[in-house]
């Protein structure tokens, strides 16, 4: 009986969002409405049934059809969007030489901000006096630690050279299927080669070139239409995802580790301020920038997937921030698999500082700090932009510092809560890199940024 009642309430919430769409509410407003309704519904489930009740678990299985289904649809369009958009951008720009500048500057900004994020993590951890000594390991933490220890064998075989080699698309069809953590970068590289080859055909065979340009334009418009169709479902996905997060959280665990949660969000807030300072440095109004990217950060927060946020990230960079198409695609794609400020920058640094005192290491020692920042920055290559990426980054950093990897499982009980903020900051870093790169290279359309118009398809009836 309880399942029927719970799902009936969820259906009413879905119906409310549908009516909002029919009343011509913008996508941004509907996303925030879905977020609020998800928090309320999730909290209500906790209040009426209590944490861990079977009624909640059963309800979330069916609610997850909407949330997980939406995320799967987003992942479905990621690779086609990247491939078609990058090829189209290169064909339109007609300047293959600019690709090196775009890639180099975007990656440079992502890595530089990751290094600063690691420093912020070190400072915040010391400021809050975080230490692994005071954390009690329960059954879940012990099991997680053992699993990470087993996983360490494969991690230890990785090197920077191996990571770089993994970027190359040995089998582009497998990478289009997302078979590897670095598949996104591999598809970017493959698409860039196709784009450059297309330029050669256009230049050397004008007749074929015209047909090729027409095909690329048609393919891009089809993919864009598909993206708009999927993005229109965002409010429903956010509702389901937020319900799952709130209803599935254990608030006793959160209270026990409240110091770490607060420290993490203070650090994430400082990173976000750094992003706003960077965009302000290239003449972009930081308040306006934040307002335009807030719906994207909201979805990243609820979905906990940098890769899943890619379509909305790219669409917003082009249609609301006025960043060049090539820059937007490169920065968003690179930002989903390297230089993640939250998952690969802040979190591993905080964890290392917490563990250091248990090994007799002074967390304020300059040598330790410089070594940690360097390792965190290098290790940020190839971290998958999906849930669990931060743990993988932590394993690499801790193993490089000869610290016990099993301790990375200490915070599993609050992992979802912190991962939401980390993912939002990851996406903010990618959009910051795209904005700065576009302004520095003169590939931005400031009239779009200054406009208050919504992105394509933002209106419900578009």
Tell me the percentage of the chain whose pLDDT exceeds 70. 85
Q: What's the pLDDT band for 157 if we cut at 50, 70, 90?
A: very low
Beta pairing partners, 459:
26
pLDDT of residue 74: 82
pLDDT of residue 76: 87
How crowded is the C-beta side of 200, counted as CA atoms within 13 Å?
Answer: 6
Neighbouring CB atoms inside 10 A of 78's CB total 26
Q: What's the pLDDT band for 231 if we cut at 50, 70, 90?
A: confident
SS3 content of the chain, % helix, strand, coil (to 5): 80, 0, 20
Neighbouring CB atoms inside 10 A of 367's CB total 9
What is the CATH code for 100-135+250-453? Answer: 1.10.3860.10
Q: What is the pLDDT of residues 406-459, one digit of tens each?
A: 666 666 667 778 888 999 999 999 999 999 999 999 989 999 998 876 544 444
Q: Which two tokens stand for residue 218?
A: 């048609």
In DSSP notation, 320-356 reads: TS---HHHHHHHHHHHTTS--IIIIIIHHHHHHHHHG
At residue 381, does pLDDT exceed 80? no
Query: Tokens 């920038």 identify what position?
Result: 289
pLDDT of residue 32: 86
Q: What's the pLDDT band for 169 if we cut at 50, 70, 90?
A: confident
pLDDT of residue 138: 46
Question: If you average pLDDT over every residue of the chain, what do you get?
Answer: 83
The number of residues making up the chain comes to: 462
At residue 367, does pLDDT exceed 50? yes
Q: What's the pLDDT band for 136 if we cut at 50, 70, 90?
A: very low
At residue 148, does pLDDT exceed 80? no
The more confident residue out of 378 and 384 is 378
pLDDT of residue 134: 57
Q: What is the pLDDT of residues 198-213, one digit of tens each?
A: 988 988 998 898 899 8
The burial of 350, by beta-carbon neighbours within 10 Å (0-12 exposed, 13-18 middle, 19 or more buried), is given as buried
pLDDT of residue 288: 95
Kindly calculate the radius of gyration of the chain based on its CA atoms and give it in whole angstroms: 22
Q: What is the pLDDT of residues 271-317, one digit of tens each?
A: 999 999 999 999 999 999 999 999 899 888 888 888 778 888 988 99
Specify the range with the lowest mean pLDDT, choosing from 52-61, 86-95, 106-115, 395-404: 86-95
């Amino acid at each position: 009986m309880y399942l029927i009642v719970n799902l009936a309430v969820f259906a009413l919430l879905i119906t409310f969002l549908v009516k909002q769409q029919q009343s011509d509410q913008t996508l941004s407003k509907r996303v925030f409405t879905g977020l609020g309704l998800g928090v309320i519904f999730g909290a209500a489930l906790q209040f009426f049934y209590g944490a861990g009740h079977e009624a909640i678990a059963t309800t979330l299985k069916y609610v997850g059809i909407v949330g997980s289904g939406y995320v799967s649809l987003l992942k479905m369009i990621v690779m086609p969007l990247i491939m078609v958009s990058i090829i189209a951008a290169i064909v339109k720009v007609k300047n293959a030489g600019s690709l090196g500048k775009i890639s180099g500057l975007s990656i440079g900004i992502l890595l530089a901000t990751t290094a600063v994020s690691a420093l912020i993590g070190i400072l915040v951890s010391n400021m809050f006096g975080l230490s692994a000594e005071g954390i009690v390991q329960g059954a879940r933490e012990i099991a997680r630690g053992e699993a990470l220890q087993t996983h360490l064998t494969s991690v230890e075989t990785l090197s920077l050279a191996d990571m770089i080699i993994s970027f190359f698309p040995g089998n582009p069809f497998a990478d289009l299927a997302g078979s590897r953590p670095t598949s996104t970068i591999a598809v970017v590289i493959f698409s860039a080669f196709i784009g450059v080859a297309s330029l050669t055909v256009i230049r050397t065979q004008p007749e074929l070139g015209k047909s090729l340009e027409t095909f690329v334009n048609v393919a891009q418009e089809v993919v864009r239409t598909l993206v708009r169709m999927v993005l229109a479902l965002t409010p429903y996905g956010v509702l389901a995802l937020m319900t799952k997060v709130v209803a599935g959280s254990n608030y006793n665990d959160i209270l026990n580790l409240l110091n770490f949660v607060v420290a993490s969000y203070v650090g994430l807030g400082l990173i976000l301020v750094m992003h706003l300072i960077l965009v302000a440095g290239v003449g972009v109004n930081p308040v306006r920038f934040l307002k335009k990217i807030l719906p994207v950060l909201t979805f990243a927060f609820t979905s906990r997937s940098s890769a899943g946020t890619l379509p909305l990230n790219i669409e917003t960079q082009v249609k609301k921030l006025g960043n060049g198409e090539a820059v937007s695609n490169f920065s968003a794609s690179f930002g989903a698999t390297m230089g993640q400020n939250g998952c690969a920058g802040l979190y591993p640094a905080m964890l290392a500082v917490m563990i250091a005192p248990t090994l007799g290491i002074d967390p304020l020692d300059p040598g330790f700090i410089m070594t940690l920042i360097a390792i965190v920055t290098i290790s940020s290559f190839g971290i998958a932009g999906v849930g669990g990426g931060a743990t993988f980054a932590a394993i690499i950093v801790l193993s490089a510092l000869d610290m016990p990897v099993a301790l990375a499982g200490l915070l599993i009980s609050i992992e979802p809560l912190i991962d939401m903020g980390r993912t939002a900051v990851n996406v903010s870093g990618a959009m910051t890199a795209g904005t700065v790169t576009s302004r520095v290279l003169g590939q931005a359309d400031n009239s779009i940024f200054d406009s208050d118009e919504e992105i394509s398809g933002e209106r419900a009836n578009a």
